Structure 1
């Protein structure tokens, strides 16, 4: 019998055109500006935007959380610029070697070794964009809810980036 899983699903509208929101997901400077929950920073972002390519990011915790760095690679499985980005999220070390969530230092219970994510963008008129994002595979509701909270904080930061910096 398959283990029950719980998904994060968020919908958000941004006051920015679809191309600007796409750029926020696919350019290093933009990723460094918004990746990570409130108080966290992203000192490293590398992108190879194509099917079979990847996005590599480093998230740094604030000093009060120990200042640790958490690395991940997003292996792109499908993309249709500027509307669809599907990827497999995996924790890595600083050299991009895949590790388990537990080896990364995050509280790992309920986090899958590889999580399938989907970002869907839709132009909704008046220069606005709707984002729908789904993260699949959490094995308990508490971990899903923690991830949802972190994602909401990241998207709050993204909203500031895309509305403040037209491309």
Structure 2
């Protein structure tokens, strides 16, 4: 199983989502990238730690030419999952209880965890309301809309807590749930 991420730095305030669909805050000045802000908010430090495990993701977050909208689930949403993000019920069904043991099992767990992380990264930013896009993990289109006065990710009606950061290569959104990341 992947190691637990180290504690993140001091928390920064999240910009509340007023549901108005108003323009997002302007990007921070200079060359601040997603990689610079991922660990700032303690409420998402579990997800932020997962992102550091994968070179394609960390490289993307460091690249000023690749914009992304990161949909970072709250720690509480990840902890509430019926299984760990690196576990897949199909793996247990096919390969048994020891599916994540040994080097093959650890590689399988890493692939599953990468799929989980990539299901929460949209390679579009800014991301206009109702624009259908695919997350890095693929598996269908996603979009956001204002519903009952709140910004929600679809499909799934996952409420957006707010925008934690707007930087040169994208935005970091904090969400109350977890996207369906099953294969």
Relative to total residues, which structure has the larger strand share, 1 or 2?
1
Calculate the TM-score normalised by the size of structure 1. 0.33
Higher Cα Rg, which structure: 2
Task: Return the TM-score normalized by structure 2.
Answer: 0.30
